[in-house]
Amino acid sequence: MELQFTLSTIDQAARLFFEQAGPHRVFAFHAPMGTGKTTFIAALCRAAHVKTQPSSPTFSLVNEYVTLEGESVYHIDLYRIKDHEEARNAGIEEILHSGAICFVEWPEKAPEIFPDHALHLRMEIRPVSTPAGIEDTRYLCTFTNTTHEPA
* DSSP per-residue codes, 11-39: HHHHHHHHHHHTT--EEEEE--TTSSHHH
CATH topology of domain 2-144: Rossmann fold (3.40.50)
Question: Is residue 101 a contact partner of residue 25, using CB atoms and an 8 Å limit?
Answer: yes
Q: What pLDDT digit, counting tens, does each position of 47-100 carry? A: 999 998 888 887 889 999 999 999 999 999 999 999 999 999 999 999 999 999
127 or 135, which is more confident?
127
> Which pLDDT belongs to residue 50?
95
Domain layout of the chain by residue ranges: 2-144
Longest distance between any two alpha carbons in the chain, whole Å: 52
Considering the chain, what is the average pLDDT of its residues? Answer: 87
